[in-house]
Amino acid sequence: MKIELDKTYLVTTDHWFFAPDGRSYRAAFGTVNGIHSSEETLGIRTNAKSTNWYIELGRLTIAGCQIHYAVQTDECHMEEVLDYKVTEQGDCVKYTRPSDIFNAD
């Protein structure tokens, strides 16, 4: 699969990252605005031990070495997520939490 410019993608990363809103996320959804070299992105040419390409996804820039999956899709569920936790008493409690997907657009 080739990542195409001006299409929307759901991109999962190898590690949690901080987004512009200050929260941690594991994925981002947005429009691909560009795929750039390290020189274009950082202003320096990196060596073989560093990533040498970056994807501009909405208002995020993600290092190519951090991309785990990239799925082209026109929509993505980013609302609160129903989750469960077990209390010290052994009860299973439902709760909602924010999505792990950042809306980069």
Question: Can you give the pLDDT of all 105 residues of the chain as single tens digits?
Answer: 789 999 999 999 999 999 999 999 999 999 999 999 887 777 777 776 667 888 999 999 999 889 999 999 999 988 888 888 888 888 898 989 899 999 999
User: Could you tell me which of 98, 65, 64, 68 has the C-alpha nearest to residue 81?
Assistant: 98
Query: Which two three-digit tokens encode residue 40?
Result: 């274009």
pTM for the full predicted model: 0.81
Beta strands in 1-105 (DSSP E): 8-18, 24-37, 53-57, 60-63, 67-72, 81-86, 92-97, 101-103
In the prediction, which pLDDT does 50 show?
Answer: 66
